[in-house]
Structures are given as C-alpha cells and as structure tokens.
Amino acid sequence: MEFILLLIGAGVAYFLYVTLQDYLKNPLHQDIVPQKQDFGFTQIESISEEERAQNKIRESEYGILSAILGIFARSDGKMCEFERVLVEDMIEEMARDSKNSKITKEALLDIYEHGDDRSLEQLCMDFDNATKGEYKKRLKVVEFLFVLAYADGEFDKNEEAMLIDIAAFFELDNEDFNKLYDEFSTLYSNNIEVTKQEAMQLLGVEDTYDAQTLQNAYKKAIKEAKGAILDTQHFNKSMLESNAPNLRRIKRAYEILNQDT
C-alpha cells in the first residue's frame, strides 16, 4: 500500500514539474503585440472624399449649367465644329469665373459630356435657385442658347421647344424671351454675302493658308467674337448688337475658305 502511494506521489510530482516547465516556456504574462490590421478605411475615405467633391461640383451653379448645356447641345442630334468651339469656350469661361479652384474646365466638360441624373426641369429649377437675384445672368444664358441653336444655321423644333421650357423654368418674362426669339429669327432669316478677301480678313489668314492654319484661326475668331457671356459688365449689352452677327459672318467666312483646302 505504501508503495502504491509512493508511486502516485511521484506521478503527481512529475506532472507538476512538466506543467511548470511549459509555463516557464510560454508564460501567460508574455506581452502580446497587436498587429495593425488594414481594413481599407483609408481607401474608403479617399473615395468618399472624391465623390463628395464631384457632387459639390455638380451641385454648383456652373456644374448645373454644364449639364443643361449638354442636354441642349444634343437635343437636335448633331453638333457642328462651330457649336463645339462655342460650348468649349463657354465652359472655359465658367471655370475662370468660378471661385472654387476645384471647378476646372475638365470637371465641367465631364459633366457636359456625361450628363446628370436630374431632368432638364430639375436642373433648370436648381440653376434658378442658384442665381436668385441674378435675372440678367439667366437671360444672358438663354441668349447664348439661341446662338447655339442657330450654330448650324437651322433652328430645330426640338431646340425651340427646349428653349421655351428653359426660359419658363428660369422664370424669364415672356416679353424678354419673345424679343430674343423674334430678333434671332430676323437675324438668321437674311442671307449674308462674304467675299474671299473679306473672309481672309475676318479670320486673319493670308492667301497661303493651309487647313490647320485655317482651323486654328477659325477657333480663335469664334472665341474672340463670342466675348465674355458671364461678365456682369456685358449683361446690359445684347449679343445681337455685335457678337451674334460677327459669329455668323465668321462661320460663313470659314465655309468659303474651307472649300479651297
């Protein structure tokens, strides 16, 4: 009996010895250094910031106007070079006029080209709200839209219907809109004659011009004749006084000279 108890005691002692050795090798109080886990929060925040910045541009006055221009420019299903240059220069002017450095020409062109989820009515109402107290600016925008509508020499029915809607959403007086409508109709109802010599003077090219020289001169002349639409100093001066007639002559000059390239 004593021998059995001795064996049991020895076994217990051995078990305690082994347990102690394991503890010393792997102490419970050993410091655990937590591993930093990258759950992608930085990337998510970065994307969110970018999206917020884009949304802010879209909700801005000129972001809204860029979307309106995009819808209107595509309303007749076609776009000539003359119209394209006018739109590009208008968007460049908006970027310059903006007080937000993030509202760049590229950002506004992206909105113009890819559109907006909002309807034309909602966009116009948003622009109307963004320009409260700036009636003359909205009138000037509609005046510019008339220039775009006649850019290809034809006032399309879709453009006409859309312009009427835009003017209504912008809360323009009927008298102001009808005056623009009638005066542009009168301007473009008359044919214009431009000689080749006059055409070269209008575009500032020599008789040795080539296709690229003519194209560059054409774009430059369009931008200069368009003027600063959004400059408050020009709000009381109608484009019909000089800008629109000059733009029409420039387009005709290009058509004449382009026949020889």
Claim: this prediction has a pTM higher than 0.85: no
pLDDT > 70: what percent of the chain? 82
In sequence order, what E strands does the chain have?
A: none
Residue-wise pLDDT tens digits, 79-113: 899 999 999 999 999 999 998 999 999 999 999 99
The helix, strand and coil proportions of the chain, stated in percent and rounded to the nearest 5, come to: 70, 0, 30
Q: What is the pLDDT of residues 130-157, one digit of tens each?
A: 999 999 999 999 999 999 999 988 899 9
Q: Max Cα separation, the chain?
A: 134
Do residues 194 and 249 make contact, with C-beta atoms less than 8 angstroms apart? yes
Q: What is the pLDDT of residues 15-28, one digit of tens each?
A: 555 554 554 455 54
Cα 135 versus chain centre, distance: 22
Do residues 245 and 194 lie in contact, with contact meaning Cβ atoms separated by under 8 Å?
A: no
Residue found by looking up tokens 């002017």 in the block = 93
Would you state the structure tokens that stand for residue 132, as one six-digit string? Answer: 């409260």
What pLDDT was estimated at residue 78? 85
* Whole-angstrom distance, CA of residue 146 vs CA of residue 155: 9
